[in-house]
Structure formats: C-alpha cells, structure tokens
C-alpha cells in the first residue's frame, strides 16, 4: 500500500472514529492511530491525549495532530489552557497539514469549543464563523467526516439557526448512529417543535445505547414536558448528577416549573441558568415570556434588554424584543430594535417587515408616514422577490417569515381602513396559534392595539380556555368592552350635538379613538358631512366606505349608506365630467 492510500484511509478513519464508527486499518501505525481514536471515542481523554502525543513524531499526514487537537478541545471547558495548546498545535501544523480535511475539521471544532469560553460577544461570533467556515471546507473535501458535520450543526444551534443545524446533524447521525449524534439531532428537532415524534424516537434510541447519557436524559425531560407529563419530566431531570446540571439543565427545570404553575421557582431556575452561563440566551427569553404571561410587558422588555447587554449580537433575541415591543404598542422601542438589526443586516426581510408594521401603526395614529417610507417598502418588496427567486426566502423559518408578511399586510390594511381584509389576515395567524398560550395572548394584544377588537376577541376567547393566560384573556375582553362602552357614549353625545357640528365631529372622532372600527361613529360622520352645514362629499364618501368595512352585513343602516354613497359617487363623477 502506498503512502497516499494509507493517508486516505487514516483520514477517513479519524472522521468516523471521532463519532463512533470503528474501522479496521491495515498497517501498524494505522492500528496505533485507531487505538488512540478508540480511546477518544470511549471518553478516555487523558489516555487518548498521551497516545496521540506519541504518534506526533511519525505523523505524515496530520491525522495525529487532528486527533490530539480534538482531544485537547474536549477537555477545554474545564481546562481552558488545553484549548490554547490545541490552537498552537494547529497553527504550527497549518503549512504542513493545512489541506488535510481532518485537520480542517479539528480546527473548526476547536474554534467552536473556544467560542463557548470567551466573554466578548464579538469574539464569540468570530469564532463561530471560523468554525462554520472550516467545517464546510472539510465537508467539501469529504462529507463523511463526522466531527465536521457535528461541528457545523452545533455552530448553527449556537447561532440560533436551528433549521440549518438539522441537515449536518442528520448526516452525522446517518454516518455514526451513536448516543451523541442521536441526541444532537433530537435537540435541534425539539427546538423546532417540542412535540416532534422523530426527536422522541431518537432520544429513546440514544438512551438504549447509553442509559446514563445525561444529554439524552435532558432531551427526554423536554419531550415528556411537551406531552404534559411534567412530573415525569422533572423526575427525569433529577436523574442527572448534580455536577452535570449546567445552564441548559436549569433552563429546562424552569420551563417545567412554569408549566406546573410555580412561577417563583421557575424564575429562580432561570436566574440560576443565567448565573451558570450568562451567554445562554434561553433564560432571558423564558423570563421575558413569563412576565408577558403575567401581563407585565415592561418587565418582559427589561429582561430582553438585560440579555442584550450581555449578548448584543444575538439578533434572534433582538428580533423577539422588537416583536414584543410592537405587540405591546411600544413603538419607539420596536422601531429602535428593528433599525439596530437593519444597521448590521440591511437585507433582513423580517426586520424590514417589522419596521413597516411600526410605520403603518404610526400612520394610523398620527396620520403620516416617515419621509423614507416609500423607499423602505420598495426595498422590502425587492428583497423578498430576490430571495424568492434565489430560493433563500424564509431561511430563518418559513412559518415565521410568512407570518411576519401576513401581520405586516394586516397592519397595512387596518391602517388604510380595509378592516375586513386586515381582520382575516389576523385571524389566519391566530388560528395557527390558538393552542399556544404565549403566542395567542400576544396576538390578541397586538390586534387590540391595532384597533381590531373583533380579531382580538377571537384570540382572547381562545386564550381564555388556556390556564396559563386565562386571567389576561379575561382582562383583554374586559378592556374591549370598556372601549366599546366609551365609543358608544361619545356617539350618543355626537348625535345630541348636531346643531353644533364641530362638537359632534369631535365626539364621533373620540368614539373612533376608543374603538377605531366603531361603525356607529362612521355612520354619524357620514350623515353629518352629507346632511349638515358641514357638507363635504369627499369626507362623506370616505366615512361611508369606512362604515361599510366596519359594519356587520346585517346592519339596518347599511342600505342607507350604500344608497347615499352611490349618489355621492354619481354626483362627483358627473361634476368632473362637465
């Protein structure tokens, strides 16, 4: 066997052995390398380290360097100096072995582990980008290097791009179906859907291979909790030894306690998770969601701000803050956060859609758009069209971006008094989330702030049946009733003040401030601009059209308004023709 063929076999063997496939190798050196790989696979890191060190002097292709680097990195979280040594070793070997895909894969893995130890968000992001780039280079040369596929998947999870994490983790699992790869793939799938059936099967298979594998037990707890088996989930968590209970463990414990209705314990667990790893974004999101469930939007926004002080480049968290602020009608915060995202990611369609919704909401309240609104909308349409053609649309999640588009269109329709179209778009999104407490209650509140009380009622009625948010739903329905009562009061005052049109107009408009779709107010304004001294055909037609959008189909006033609108249009058209 020549030297090149041996190097190829060694290269393949390391990639497989690092994740659990044992390959029979032909030569004495290869057997020795295989033994080192086997020690690494078994988690005997000190022995593996010694074995790889002995091989360095005879290393002709860089596989021993790659193996030693990975072994050092696996010890790096507890002994950071090991990561430094691994990086020095790889730098020293770059010229000699830089083209070896195993060395590239090992360098990517070391960069990924290093990213978990740095305090600087900017440096963390750079290390993750390096890990991604190196893993892809290795995969391009040899897609069967499992550690490269693993690393790429873990990097994507760290970047909160879960959908992009699934393919490489699935590939790793297909190459080496061991407890590590099974659990990593299950983790990604559960982040996308906590009720994913395939993920449950993967976790069970991992535990069959290694019943005490803590990472799999953690995912098992997530599966059980999603099935409503919170007691069983908590017992599953308790099987994990105390010294292995990391930030993710405390996050999951808090999630379970929250579902059990124990808010104080949940907050305590999430705070512990943040103490264990301040760079873990999940606890901040969970605390924000908890405060939202309680109806404390200000505290939820504050929690996101706390997380972003530590993780300023966590664009997913910043986007969630912007969406929350928008749904809470805190337009200044929403506008600031969407613009911050766009300053770094100018072509982010979800951020552009969010900013458009802010502008539509401000237009409905203030009556004008910002000077650059038309350019913003043109650019937004261009980006969505370009990405659709390139197949990139919805890279961050088809459902999420599609819903952002629907919500933006709904907000636009409402701002332009196309109430029925806007309501239907809101209702379409609400139906998709009717069983999800946090989503349906926040959608209800968003519809309330948009002035679409009928859509809000639908969401609140769904939320009323969900124990986690039933109180807030009742409060939302109560606010709608209060606003409608206030609108009715002003309409009656407007009807009584017809002899003084200015006062009547003011009362009708105050009614619309209370309920922007209160049909009786539009009817009063239509009549006033048609029949009083304040006759104004253009105003009358505008309010007639708004009435027809807002009124029920069975409204007894509908025929009168339709007839009056037809006459006004005919008269106006005739006037223009002369």
Q: How confident is the model at residue 575 (pLDDT cuts 50, 70, 90)?
A: low
Mean pLDDT of 112-134: 89
Question: Do 3 and 50 reside in the same domain of the chain?
Answer: yes
- pLDDT for the residue 385: 66
Q: What is the pLDDT of residues 281-296, one digit of tens each?
A: 889 989 998 888 787 8
Question: Do 165 and 48 reside in the same domain of the chain?
Answer: yes
Using the predicted structure, report yes or no on whether residue 399 has a pLDDT greater than 90: no
Using the predicted structure, report yes or no on whether residue 5 has a pLDDT greater than 70: no
Using the predicted structure, report yes or no on whether residue 26 has a pLDDT greater than 70: no
Domain assignment present for residue 167? The answer is yes
DSSP 8-state secondary structure symbol assigned to residue 244: G
Question: Do 410 and 549 reside in the same domain of the chain?
Answer: no
Mean pLDDT of 242-264: 92
Mean pLDDT of 403-415: 83
Question: Do 430 and 560 reside in the same domain of the chain?
Answer: no
Asked which of 46-60, 146-160, 360-374 is least confident by mean pLDDT, the reply is 360-374
Asked which of 123-137, 163-177, 393-407, 560-574 is least confident by mean pLDDT, the reply is 393-407
Q: What is the pLDDT of residues 369-378, one digit of tens each?
A: 777 777 777 7
Domain stop point among 432, 462, 483: 483
Asked which of 148-152, 359-363, 488-492 is least confident by mean pLDDT, the reply is 359-363
Tokens of 526: 């239509």
Pairwise pLDDT comparison (17 vs 413), residue with the higher score: 413
Q: How confident is the model at residue 573 (pLDDT cuts 50, 70, 90)?
A: confident
- pLDDT for the residue 14: 46
Mapping DSSP onto H, E and C, the string for 358-387 reads: HHHHHHHHHCCCCCCHHHHHHHHHHHHHHH
- pLDDT for the residue 229: 93
Mean pLDDT of 260-274: 92
Pairwise pLDDT comparison (369 vs 248), residue with the higher score: 248
- pLDDT for the residue 269: 95
Asked which of 20-34, 216-230, 286-300 is least confident by mean pLDDT, the reply is 20-34
| Most confident region among 35-39, 320-324, 399-403, 531-535 by mean pLDDT | 320-324
- pLDDT for the residue 111: 93
Tokens of 362: 């401000």
Domain assignment present for residue 35? The answer is yes
Question: Do 157 and 12 reside in the same domain of the chain?
Answer: yes
Domain assignment present for residue 94? The answer is yes
Question: Do 428 and 353 reside in the same domain of the chain?
Answer: yes
Torsion of CA 81, 87, 88, 94, to 10 degrees: 170
Using the predicted structure, report yes or no on whether residue 117 has a pLDDT greater than 60: yes
Task: Give the chain's mean pLDDT.
Answer: 85
Domain assignment present for residue 101? The answer is yes
Domain that holds residue 17: 1-175
Q: How confident is the model at residue 397 (pLDDT cuts 50, 70, 90)?
A: very low
The pTM score is 0.68
- pLDDT for the residue 394: 42
- pLDDT for the residue 194: 87
Domain stop point among 462, 483, 504: 483
Using the predicted structure, report yes or no on whether residue 84 has a pLDDT greater than 60: yes
Using the predicted structure, report yes or no on whether residue 487 has a pLDDT greater than 90: yes
Pairwise pLDDT comparison (524 vs 58), residue with the higher score: 524
Report the percentage of the chain scoring pLDDT > 90.
Answer: 49
Domain assignment present for residue 399? The answer is yes
Phi, psi of 95 (to 5 degrees): -65, -40
Domain assignment present for residue 201? The answer is no
Domain assignment present for residue 252? The answer is no
Q: How far apart are CA 320 and CA 329, in angstroms?
A: 14
Q: How confident is the model at residue 161 (pLDDT cuts 50, 70, 90)?
A: confident
- pLDDT for the residue 98: 81
Q: How far apart are CA 550 and CA 454, in angstroms?
A: 10
- pLDDT for the residue 248: 93
Mean pLDDT of 481-495: 96
- pLDDT for the residue 404: 76
Using the predicted structure, report yes or no on whether residue 578 has a pLDDT greater than 80: no
Task: Report the b/e string of 153-177 with b at 16+ CB within 10 A.
Answer: bbbbbbbbbbbbbbebbbbbbebbb
The CA-based angle 406-407-411, given to 5 degrees, is: 120
Mean pLDDT of 302-312: 87
Mean pLDDT of 252-270: 92
Q: How far apart are CA 400 and CA 6, in angstroms?
A: 49
Pairwise pLDDT comparison (412 vs 560), residue with the higher score: 560
Report the percentage of the chain scoring pLDDT > 70.
Answer: 90
Give which of 305, 367, 286, 361 is closest to 328, Cα–Cα: 361
Question: Do 392 and 509 reside in the same domain of the chain?
Answer: no
DSSP string, 21-88: ------SHHHHHHHHHHHHHHTT-HHHHHHHHHHHGGG-SSSHHHHHHHHHHHHTTTT-HHHHHHHHH
Domain stop point among 159, 175, 191: 175
| Residue 440 · residue 433 · CB < 8 Å | yes
Domain assignment present for residue 533? The answer is yes
Question: Do 62 and 39 reside in the same domain of the chain?
Answer: yes
Pairwise pLDDT comparison (94 vs 227), residue with the higher score: 227
Question: Do 467 and 498 reside in the same domain of the chain?
Answer: no
What is the domain-level CATH number for residue 60? 1.25.40.10
Question: Do 48 and 169 reside in the same domain of the chain?
Answer: yes
Give the Cβ contact number of residue 516 at 10 Å: 22
Number of separate domains in the chain: 3
Question: Do 479 and 490 reside in the same domain of the chain?
Answer: no
Pairwise pLDDT comparison (276 vs 385), residue with the higher score: 276
Asked which of 164-178, 392-406, 420-434, 544-558 is least confident by mean pLDDT, the reply is 392-406
Question: Do 464 and 494 reside in the same domain of the chain?
Answer: no
Tokens of 84: 């430094």
């Amino acid at each position: 066997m020549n030297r090149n063929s041996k190097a190829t076999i060694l290269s393949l063997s390391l990639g497989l052995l690092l994740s659990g496939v044992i390959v029979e190798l032909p030569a004495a050196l290869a057997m020795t390398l295989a033994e080192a790989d086997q020690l690494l696979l078994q988690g005997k890191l000190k022995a593996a380290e010694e074995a790889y060190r002995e091989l360095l002097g005879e290393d002709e292709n860089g596989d021993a360097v790659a193996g030693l680097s990975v072994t050092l990195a696996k010890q790096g979280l507890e002994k950071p100096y090991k990561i430094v040594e691994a990086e020095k070793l790889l730098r020293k070997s770059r010229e000699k072995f830089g083209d070896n895909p195993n060395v590239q894969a090992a360098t990517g893995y070391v960069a990924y582990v290093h990213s978990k130890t740095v305090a600087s968000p900017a440096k963390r992001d750079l290390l993750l980008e390096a890990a991604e780039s190196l893993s892809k280079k290795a995969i391009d040369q040899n897609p069967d290097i499992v550690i490269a596929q693993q690393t790429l998947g873990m990097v994507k999870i760290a970047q909160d791009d879960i959908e992009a994490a699934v393919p490489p983790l699935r590939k790793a699992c297909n190459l080496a179906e061991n407890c590590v790869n099974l659990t990593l793939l299950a983790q990604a799938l559960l982040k996308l859907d906590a009720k994913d059936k395939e993920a449950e099967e993967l976790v069970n298979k991992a535990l069959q291979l290694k019943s005490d594998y803590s990472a799999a037990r953690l995912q098992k707890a997530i599966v059980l909790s999603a099935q409503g088996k919170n007691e069983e989930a908590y017992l599953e968590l308790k099987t994990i030894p105390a010294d292995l209970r990391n930030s993710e463990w405390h996050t999951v414990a808090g999630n379970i306690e929250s579902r059990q209705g124990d808010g104080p314990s949940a907050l305590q667990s999430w705070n512990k998770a943040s103490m264990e790893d301040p760079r873990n974004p999940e606890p901040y999101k969970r605390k924000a969601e908890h405060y939202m469930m309680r109806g404390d939007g200000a505290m939820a926004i504050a929690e996101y701000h706390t997380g972003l002080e530590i993780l300023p480049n966590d664009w997913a968290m910043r986007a969630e803050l912007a969406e929350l602020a928008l749904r809470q009608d805190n337009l200044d915060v929403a506008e600031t956060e969407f613009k911050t995202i766009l300053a770094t990611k100018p072509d982010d369609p979800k951020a552009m859609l969010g900013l458009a919704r802010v502008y539509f909401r401000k237009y409905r309240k203030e009556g004008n758009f910002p000077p650059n609104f038309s350019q913003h909308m043109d650019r937004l349409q261009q980006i969505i069209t370009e990405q659709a053609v390139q197949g990139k649309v919805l890279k961050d999640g088809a459902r999420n971006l599609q819903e952002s588009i629907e919500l933006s269109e709904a907000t636009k329709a409402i701002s332009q008094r196309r109430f029925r179209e806007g309501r239907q778009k809101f209702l379409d999104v609400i139906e998709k989330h009717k069983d999800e407490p946090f989503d349906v209650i926040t959608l209800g509140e968003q519809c309330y702030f948009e002035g679409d009380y009928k859509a809000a009622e639908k969401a609140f009625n769904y939320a009323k049946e969900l124990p986690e948010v039933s109180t807030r739903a009742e409060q939302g329905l109560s606010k709608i009733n209060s606003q409608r009562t206030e609108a009715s009061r002003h309409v009656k005052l407007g009807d009584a003040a017809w002899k003084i049109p200015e006062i009547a107009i003011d009362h009708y408009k105050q009614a619309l401030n209370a309920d922007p779709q209160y049909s009786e107010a539009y009817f009063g304004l239509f009549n006033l601009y048609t029949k009083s001294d304040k006759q104004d055909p253009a105003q009358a037609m505008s309010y007639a059209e708004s009435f027809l959008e807002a009124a029920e189909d069975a409204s007894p006033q509908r025929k009168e308004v339709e007839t009056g609108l037809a006459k006004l249009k005919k008269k106006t058209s005739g006037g223009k023709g002369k």
